[in-house]
Structure 1
Amino acid sequence: MSEAIDTLNVENLQKYLAARIADFGTIQECTKFAGGQSNPTFMVRTEKSRYVLRRKPPGLLLKSAHAVDREYRVMKALAATQVPVPRMLTLCDDDSVIGSMFYVMEFVEGRIFWNCALPERTPAERRAIYGEMVRVLAAMHTVNLEQAGLTDYGRPGNYFERQIKRWTEQYRASQTGTMPAMEKLMEWLPANVPADDGRVALNHGDYRIDNVMFHPTESRIVAVLDWELSTLGHPWADLAYQCMHLRLPPDAAIPGLGGLDREALGIPSEEEYVARYCELTGIKAIPNWDFYIIFSFFRIAAILQGVYKRALDGNASSKKAMDYGALAGPIAEMAVAMLP
């Protein structure tokens, strides 16, 4: 029997985890974390320690969505690399335990910043935080895939062609009405894919400031989180996706830096950020940058449409799902405004 999205079957969970995690103890509390539009995430506390549980939501789901098993695999593989991730403890694919697949990882102490303008930080801290963001992104994109055991983590062929096809299908599967901007993007993007340059790297798929955890007092990332959309793909997709988030309006449900004085804030400009990434990864420049940005807007619009559909179906992880989902149309229109 499936559990409600905000609750866990503690009795079943206790038996399962006590048999698989050494010195686990007795569950005292299970609390769902705020935020997160996809996979519900809980803090599980025993008298001995704290853990984080991340599960698939119950109910009917889009094909290939909510891949917590892929999250578990990639973070386990990255434990021996320069990419900071929590330690993975167990993966459960038996739906009878709590109603859906889940994994448990260590609880990491740190800070998550929900607003990319970092209003509570000083200019020097903001510059250091963004410097760390790009450093870790470059480290992710230079992971030795063979040594990490991830050579089969994605499919061969042009990454952007595959992604455009995938997110077009996902959008169609969650479509709730006609969105002219999305129709235009689904026409323009396949016709303007840059030639495949052969670059393949580990892609996070949702790399942004609220999906990384910083040290409690230092401007250092201690954990990269939310790997659900990760795959092998083109590294510049991750870079453009993060820069796309920074272009969004500061008053949107997903706040960005659009229109803000970055120099006064101490936050690098997009040009500076991209130049630093190029320096760290040993490349001179990124051609066709506008394509990657437009693709990123299209992709997040398709994702947000899925959030909106889940909200309508009563199957969304966050109470803000309707607000996030309502951004799909405006974001698609921003992308169309960039078309040549």
Structure 2
Amino acid sequence: MSDVSPGLDLTRLADWMPTALPGIAGEQLSARLIAGGRSNLTYEIGDGDRRWVLRRPPLGHVPAHAHDMGREYRVMSALAGTGVPVPATYALCTDDSVLGVPFYVMEKVEGTPYRTAAELTPLGPDRVRTISLRLVDTLVALHEVDPAEVGLADFGRAEGFLDRQVRRWSAQLAASRGRDLPAADELRDLLVANVPAQSAPGIVHGDYRLDNVLVDSSDRPAAIIDWEMATIGDPVTDLALLIMYQKLGRLSGGDVVSDSASAPGHLTEDEVRSRYRSRGGRDPAHWGFHLGLAAYKLAGIVESLHARHLNGTTVGAGFDRIGALTEPLLELGLTALRDH
């Protein structure tokens, strides 16, 4: 590995690492950007035979609250020992003189973030089914954790969570839109008019899907990663987002968005929901609203990434095509609200 990674000053990092993790030979530090990240940047860094992972915000001007390294670091640290698989956390740096932004270093967990049906299909339908079953079971385990018992009672404000989610993603779309999207206004109005009562508060990952879970060689979840949108709120939103990702992946055929759910043996959308409930997950009442909100959220994320691509502040492949997903997502959201 070498210092060819945008957003990472390896010389300054090499000076800082020994102060945070004693025993590291900073002058031997090397790094590479791990491909696949569409928001915060993730790097593998090494010192001889040892490896770690470093996370920092994306390049360019971004809202600090949307890429809070301290929140990611805190929630993973809190979940250690709960049975929810997370990487071990080692050091959080809030000194901007090192990389210009806050960042943290965590364990490099061995595992595969399956993203495409092509990656899963060679495993065979039985193994794929096992992986997708365990994906749902791990989500249930996360939602069973009492935030207060792991020191996360103040990690988010549960009251009014769904209302705030609608407002947040409305603001995100408004800030990113550079084109006419009439379906966005229609979906927003329907969501505002149909906000339901919330389920009991729990830890929400905020972007739960198969390629945000590292799967080990025994087909077990080794670590949930990418906690940048984690908070305390209504956990049913995680389930709805997982299923909306499946819907979108089937529509896009693996172009830009993961189509892993298309692999033979993977749970269908109805089976995911049924498995979640049968294993003790919350009963997802008002399902149409939750699916509509999930589609609206993804549309906000996609449109923001599209805008950053146009501004030249993205790193990675596929951003030139991401903007084509916004309108299909909005239509999926409208359909969900009308049909459920």
Normalised to the residue count of structure 1, the TM-score between the two structures is 0.92
Residue 56 (str. 1) matches residue 90 (str. 2): no
Q: 2:129 aligns with which of 127, 130, 142?
A: 127
Structure 1 or 2: larger helix share? Answer: 2
Partners of 2:44 and 2:33 lie apart in 1 by 6
Amino-acid identity (%)? 35
Number of the residue aligned with 1:243: 243
Number of the residue aligned with 1:175: 177
Number of the residue aligned with 1:22: 22
Q: Which amino acid aligns with 1:273?
A: V
Q: Which range is displaced more, 60-69 or 132-141?
A: 60-69
What is the root-mean-square deviation of aligned Cα atoms in Å? 2.0
Partners of 2:317 and 2:218 lie apart in 1 by 31
Deviations along 1:87-117, one digit per CA (max 9) or x if unpaired, are 1111111111112111011111111101157
**Paired residue secondary structure (2:99):** coil
Shift of 1:159: 1.7
Deviations along 1:148-200, one digit per CA (max 9) or x if unpaired, are 10000111312211100111111111111120111111111010111234x11
In 2, are the aligned partners of 1:25 and 1:48 still within 8 Å (CA)? no
Aligned pairs for 1:242-321 (under 5 A) are 242-248=242-248, 249=251, 250-256=253-259, 265-281=264-280, 285-321=283-319
Number of the residue aligned with 1:142: 144
Deviations along 1:19-69, one digit per CA (max 9) or x if unpaired, are 110222233421001111111111111114111111112431135212222
In 1, are the aligned partners of 2:53 and 2:105 still within 8 Å (CA)? yes
Q: Which amino acid aligns with 1:43?
A: E
Q: Which range is displaced more, 149-158 or 112-121?
A: 112-121
Partners of 2:327 and 2:318 lie apart in 1 by 17
**Structure 1 gap segments, 5+ residues each:** none
Q: Where in structure 1 do 4 or more consecutive aligned residues deviate above 6 Å? A: none
Aligned pairs for 1:36-55 (under 5 A) are 36-55=37-56
Q: Which range is displaced more, 303-312 or 206-215?
A: 303-312
Shift of 1:299: 0.5
**Paired residue secondary structure (2:83):** coil
**Structure 2 gap segments, 5+ residues each:** none
Q: Which amino acid aligns with 2:291?
A: I
Normalised to the residue count of structure 2, the TM-score between the two structures is 0.92
Number of the residue aligned with 1:97: 98
In 2, are the aligned partners of 1:5 and 1:58 still within 8 Å (CA)? no
**Paired residue secondary structure (2:279):** helix
Deviations along 1:6-28, one digit per CA (max 9) or x if unpaired, are 14211211111111102222334
Number of the residue aligned with 2:220: 220
Partners of 2:132 and 2:324 lie apart in 1 by 28
